[in-house]
Amino acid sequence: MSYLIRSLLSTCLLGIFLLHPTLVIGQEEQQEPEEEVLPVVIRNVTLIDGNGGEPRSNVSILMAEDSIIGIVDNERDIPIESKIYDYSGHYVIPGLIDAHVHVTSNPSEEPRIYSASSLKHALYGGITTVRDLASDARSLASFARDALLDEIESPDIYYSSFIAHPDFFEADKRTLQPSRGAVLGKTSHFLAIDENDDLKEAIAYARGSGATGIKIYAGYDREMMRKLTEEAHRQGMKVWAHTALIPAKPSDVVAAGPDSMIHIEMFIYELFDSADEVDKRRGEQSIDYSKLKVDDPAIVKVFKEMAEKNVILDPTLISEKRLEHGEGWFQYNADLLRLAHKMGVPVSTGTDNLGSPNEYYLPTLFEEIESIVEFSGFTPLEAITSATLIGAKSIGIEKTHGTLEVGKKANMVILKADPSKNIHNIREIKVVIKNGKFYERALYTPIQAHSHE
């Protein structure tokens, strides 16, 4: 019997342990390791578990290998034989999830180095999982494998197969870069589909990219949105759709019941007769957003349906801040998000921009988290749930990720200050733990790549 099991059995953790028979099986099937594997204890911290409840002080988190095996209040519940790290005075939150990144679409002449560099930057910045919403899945697949096995310093990576109407591929040159070397619109990760295609075959092909979900991007009406969603769900894939697909409006998109709707700024399409009109008026900056009613019944109806169907909104609020589409643009979008949140729409935190790895700053995700508090009225604890549990739900990994509970992955961030009191304290990172491995923030050094931004 391994050391780990003996030491656990010798304590009152037996109950916890029996709930996780897989650990026992795992230990007995494997060759007995030479070195002793002791449980690791994060001692005496304040726990913010990601479920949204009040912080719980003076707890200890017990980990074995890559999982959490106990969360205890009492010192005597800590196994005598364990590796103890005392973090008295610190706060622990689940590992953060950026729900909208493009890891392998980057401006570098050394794209692999740049991607590796931004992934390392993200991990030391507290991000233990990312959802990539369209980049080159051929290289993503290899990064995802290496991240899973902790062979590189990187968050876990889940990604999408990008699907749009063939006309979109013709019109938008951004599809070229991630499809290089292949026929445009014919790769399993960047796929052009129209109403004449066999959708069963097309979605099965998309699945072959290793993607967790499809990203439905543009060029579809209500009926195509429904068909694509139905078929992807039937084949066990998540459906992540732009809030407007043009011609499909937000009300058409939500009707299909996707898992995520992406970009708060696209709800405006619900208010005009045609998408062309929106685009034209945006182009001329002739929409006065400060005059638009935030609780317009058409948009309220969409939010209501999203809340009922548990469709997660990925607002990418921070990316709207960088654009200027007219008077009152950012505040209007922030107010829409405030309303959606109030109405019970689950919200994830995606940035559309992981952050530049060569800067000695934290990833963009921190700005998104702070923005939804500052401009859209989330409490700090709600924002943390958005950046952890809701992100995990959007990927479909909430059984193993997203909160700090017994049986889940040991993915967490230890903070030097209380983020529930002041959301900016979420930047006070002491150490990041992913799969039970420690990444000390102070030891972060960037991988150098040449950026051409």
The residue ranges that bind Zn ion (CB under 5 A) are 133, 352
Q: How far is the CB of 104 from Zn ion (least distance, A)?
A: 13
Measured from the CB atom, the residue of 47 and 133 that comes closer to Zn ion is 133
Q: How far is the CB of 133 from Zn ion (least distance, A)?
A: 5
Q: How far is the CB of 262 from Zn ion (least distance, A)?
A: 7
Tokens of 404: 């700090």
Give the 3-state DSSP-derived string for 12-79, with helices as H, strands as E and coil as C: CCHHHHHCCHHHHHHHHHCCCCCCCCCCEEEEEEEECCCCCCCCEEEEEEEEECCEEEEEECCHHHCC
Contacts of 336 (CB under 8 A, 6+ apart): 264, 267, 294, 299
Q: How far is the CB of 316 from Zn ion (least distance, A)?
A: 7
Q: How far is the CB of 353 from Zn ion (least distance, A)?
A: 8
Tokens of 259: 């898992």
Task: Give the integer Cα–Cα distance in Å for 261 and 268.
Answer: 14
The verdict on whether omega for the bond into residue 357 sits within 30 degrees of 0, i.e. cis, is: no
Measured from the CB atom, the residue of 144 and 413 that comes closer to Zn ion is 144
Q: How far is the CB of 71 from Zn ion (least distance, A)?
A: 36
Measured from the CB atom, the residue of 242 and 434 that comes closer to Zn ion is 242
Q: Are the C-beta atoms of 372 and 315 separated by less than 8 Å?
A: yes
Contacts of 245 (CB under 8 A, 6+ apart): 216, 217, 218, 219, 220, 221, 225, 252, 253
Query: Looking at beta carbons, which residue is closest to Zn ion?
Result: 352
Measured from the CB atom, the residue of 48 and 218 that comes closer to Zn ion is 218
Concatenated DSSP letters for 248-297? S-HHHHHHT--SEEE-GGGGGGGGSS-HHHHHHHHHTT---GGGS-TT-H
Measured from the CB atom, the residue of 133 and 224 that comes closer to Zn ion is 133
Measured from the CB atom, the residue of 49 and 132 that comes closer to Zn ion is 132
Q: Give the CA diameter of the chain.
A: 73
Task: Give the integer Cα–Cα distance in Å for 118 and 447.
Answer: 8
Q: How far is the CB of 173 from Zn ion (least distance, A)?
A: 15
Measured from the CB atom, the residue of 174 and 421 that comes closer to Zn ion is 174
Task: Give the integer Cα–Cα distance in Å for 336 and 367.
Answer: 18
Measured from the CB atom, the residue of 133 and 354 that comes closer to Zn ion is 133
Measured from the CB atom, the residue of 100 and 441 that comes closer to Zn ion is 100
Contacts of 319 (CB under 8 A, 6+ apart): 263, 351, 352, 353
Q: How far is the CB of 426 from Zn ion (least distance, A)?
A: 23
Q: How far is the CB of 127 from Zn ion (least distance, A)?
A: 16
**Angle at the Cα of 215 (from 110 to 313), degrees rounded to 5?**
110
Task: Give the integer Cα–Cα distance in Å for 6 and 449.
Answer: 47
